[in-house]
Structure 1
Amino acid sequence: MAIDFTIPEDAKEVRERVRRWVQEECVPAEREMSRGRPYKDVLADLRKKARAQGLWLPFIPKEHGGMGLGPLANALVQMELGHSHLGALSMNSQGPDDATMLTLLAHGTDFQKEKYLKPILNGEKRVCYSMTEKAAGADATGMQTRAEKDGKGNYVLNGEKWFSSAATAADIAVVMAKTNPEAPRHQQYSTFIVELPNPGYQIIRDIPTMAVHGPHYAEMGGGHAEVKIDNLIVSEKNLLGGEGMGFAMGQHRLAYGRLRHGMHNVAMAQRALDLATEFVTKRSTFGKGLEDRQGVQFMLAECASQIYIARLMLMHIAYKAENGMDIRQENGMAKVFLANMVHKVVDTAIQLHGALGYSLDTPLAAWYTHIRSQRLVDGPDEVHKWITGKNVIRAFKKDGTTAAAAGGDLL
């Protein structure tokens, strides 16, 4: 019996539509912005065209205005959108909004869906997610922000948040805080919807990072804010998913975010390899074309192999998700692999460009400083490896083999 890697015709069709969209609309729109056209005008035009073509919210069910794509088709689409930094934004598929849309869709009340989810789905508002704190870092159960009832139908939140991505561009914040310190560890936290601006949600600054920041970085949602939460009053109606559900919902939304990062990483790696290959086919050194040098061919081969493995990982995870299977182990391994893969491929592309690659005359240097974050965001490599390793040991103790934790149930 053969293993069938055939992509369904409808998935191939939507991938091709999105591929054309990105290359014919988003990439030229990038050039418009570089020539000085305001970002908001560019994005508004793109979104109007995208919606007219039915290219909107690929992962959201049709009854809520989306394309209703399953995990496989969405993965294919996201790998195309990642070829342009306007790709996901043009179809309202950008992070961190995307994962929060899914959380609100799954756990929001009718009131919350009408008041908060609908304008996000319509592209009228943006949202940020405030979970991370300095004191806790990768350990979400170490957060100290507190939420206490005031007896008047509200919660009062106090604390601080760190690296709240897109907060300076957001109209809504989803904030996690401790509501019951006496509950079991993973049931102490709850999530609240906060309309911005709000005097109790004070954005101190966008934290400077090593990433090369373009002129539209903040307004596109690229910033990572430090936030002080000072007597932030939130109505009980804005409690999302019920008390004690914050951690579980957070892990669910992060799981999607990790995959979306990985899908976009494949697109960026592919674009970097294309740039490198184009360069070496036009360049000669010491009387010989770079493309004819074995060392260069080995470098290109390693990049191609890494991208191939990455695609297979994502396709397998999409297959398991389509069939309702547990993807937690594969998701953790893929998150680490994909973050390191894109870093390696872009680094190799810079090396093949020589001094030109180190300059800002190509996008490679900016990509390089940006993607270093991939090994930290949504959980650093070491935490994912730790959990993956624990699952390897658990599988061996249960089955006498580690196969179940190492792709042994591949299909």
Structure 2
Amino acid sequence: MAIDFEIPEEAKKIRERVRQWVHDECIPAEKRLVDKESYKTVLAELRAKARAQGLWLPFVPKEYGGMGLGPLANALVQMELGQSHLGALSMNSQGPDDATILTLLAHGTEYQKEKFLKPLLNGEKRVCYSMTEKAAGADATGMRTVAVKDGNENYVLNGEKWFSSAATAADIAVVMARTDPDAPRHQQFSTFIVELPNPGYRIVRDIPTMAAESPLSHIMGGGHAEVEIKDLVVPADNLLGGEGRGFDMGQHRLAYGRLRHGMHNIAMAQRALDMAAEHVTSRETFGKALAERQAVQFMLAECASQLYISRLMLLHIAFKAEKGLDMRQENSIAKVYLAHMVHHVVDTAIQLHGALGYSRDTPLAAWYTHIRSQRLVDGPDEVHRWTVGRNVLKAFKATGTTAGAAGGDLL
């Protein structure tokens, strides 16, 4: 019996529609962005067209206004959307909103879905997720922000948050805080929905990073905010998922975020490799086409190999997700690999473009400054490698082989 790598016909059609959408609409629209007003106009136009074509919220069930795609079809779509920084935004599929939408779908009360989820689904509001803190870093259980119940009506939150992505563009914040310091370690935290602006949730600044910025960066949700939380009063009705569920919901949310980053990394790497191939086929050096040089071909070959491995990784994870299988080990492996892959491919594309690649006349230089974050966000490389390594040892101790932690179920 042969292994079937055939993509269902419907998923192929959707992928092709999205691919055309990105190339015909999103990439050309990038050149029209110059300020806040042009961004609002361009995005509104794109979203109106996308919704009219049924290209809206690919990962959301149809009964909530989405396309209702499963993990495989959504992965194929996201691997196209990431070719443009307007791709996901045009279909209301951008991070960090997407993962929080999934959390609200799974854990929100009817009141929360009506008040907070509905405007997110309609593209009327943006949401950010405030979990990370300076004091805790990659260890979410080390956070110091606390929530104390004030009678039965409210919680009062105090603390600080660090690197709350898209907070300056958000209308809603989802905030994690410690509610029971005496509970088991992973049951001490709860999640709260906060309407913004709010005097108790003060954005101190968008933290300067090495990423190339433009006047539109923060407006589009590209900033990472430092936040002071002081006497922030949150109605008890805004507690999401119940007390003690914050950590578990956060990990589920981050799991999707890691996959989405990986999907978009593949899309960006593919566009970068296409740009490199186009450049070397049109350029001559010392009387010979650049594309004919073996060193150049080797560079392209390495990029193609890494993209091939990356696609197989994500398709296998999508398969496991479709079947409801445990994919945490594969997710961590892929998260690290894809972050390094996109860095290598974009770097190679810059090298093959020469000084043009180093300039800002192509998007490559800006991409290069942004993708360094991929080795840090949603868990740094070292934490994922630590987890993967422990699982390798666990598998060996349990079965006498490491295959179960190294893709052994593929065969």
Q: Please state if 1:4 is matched with 2:12.
A: no
Where does structure 1 lack aligned partners over 5 or more consecutive residues? none
> Any residues of structure 2 matched to 1:45-84 within 5 Å, and which?
45-84=45-84
Q: Deviations over 1:311-349 (max 9, x none)?
A: 000000001111111110000000000000000000111
SS of 1:232's partner is strand
How far does the alpha carbon of each residue in 1:204-240 deviate from its partner, in whole angstroms, 9 at most, with x for none?
0000000001221111000000000000000110000
What is the letter of the counterpart of residue 130 of structure 2?
A: S
Give, in whole Å, the separation in 2 of the partners of 1:203 and 1:235.
Answer: 21
Moved more, 52-61 or 280-289: 280-289
What corresponds to 1:130 in structure 2?
Answer: 130
Q: Does 285-294 or 165-174 show the bigger shift? A: 285-294
What secondary structure sits across from 1:38 in the alignment?
A: helix
1:27, 1:363 → 2: CA distance? 11
The SS at the match of 2:101 is: helix
Q: How many pairs does the alignment contain?
A: 411
Alignment of 1:4-403 (within 5 A): 4-34=4-34, 38-403=38-403
1:37–1:119 Cα change, 3 Å = closer
| Partner SS state of residue 180, structure 1 | coil
**Distance in 1 separating the partners of 2:130 and 2:357:** 35
Amino acid aligned to 2:285: T
SS of 1:393's equivalent in the other structure is: helix
Specify every segment of 5 or more residues in structure 2 that has no aligned partner in the other structure, as ranges: none
Q: Greater CA deviation, 210-219 or 306-315?
A: 210-219
Tell me by how many angstroms 1:362 deviates. Answer: 1.0
Query: Secondary structure of 1:242's match?
Result: coil
CA spacing shift, 1:147–1:35, aligned 2, 3 Å = closer
The SS at the match of 1:332 is: helix
The separation in 2 between residues aligned to 1:215 and 1:288, in whole angstroms, is 42
Structure 1 residue 34: Cα displacement? 4.7
Paired with 1:114 and 1:140, the residues of 2 have a C-alpha distance of: 29
How far off is 1:152 after superposition? 4.8
**DSSP-derived class of the 2:198 partner:** coil
Structure 2 match to 1:406: 406
Question: Distance in 1 between the 2:195 and 2:176 partners?
Answer: 14
Structure 2 Cα separation of the partners of residues 35 and 49 of structure 1: 21
Q: CA deviation at 1:357?
A: 1.0
Secondary structure of 1:33's match? coil
Shift of 1:28: 1.6
Q: Cα 1:37–1:276, aligned 2, differ >3 Å: closer, same or farther? A: farther
What's the CA shift for 1:286?
A: 1.6
Shift, 1:37, TM fit? 6.3
1:118 maps to a residue whose letter is K
Identity value in percent: 79
CA distance in 2, matches of 1:294, 1:390: 41
Q: Give the SS at the match of 2:410.
A: coil
Shift of 1:185: 0.4
When residues 35 and 152 of structure 1 are mapped into structure 2, their CA distance, relative to the original with a 3 A threshold, is closer
In the superposition, relative to structure 1, how do residues 301 and 183 fare at CA in structure 2: closer, same or farther (>3 Å)?
same
Q: Whole-Å Cα distance in 2 between the matches of residues 329 and 205 of structure 1?
A: 36
User: What is the rounded CA distance, in whole Å, between the counterparts of 1:27 and 1:36 in structure 2?
Assistant: 18
CA distance in 2, matches of 1:215, 1:146: 35
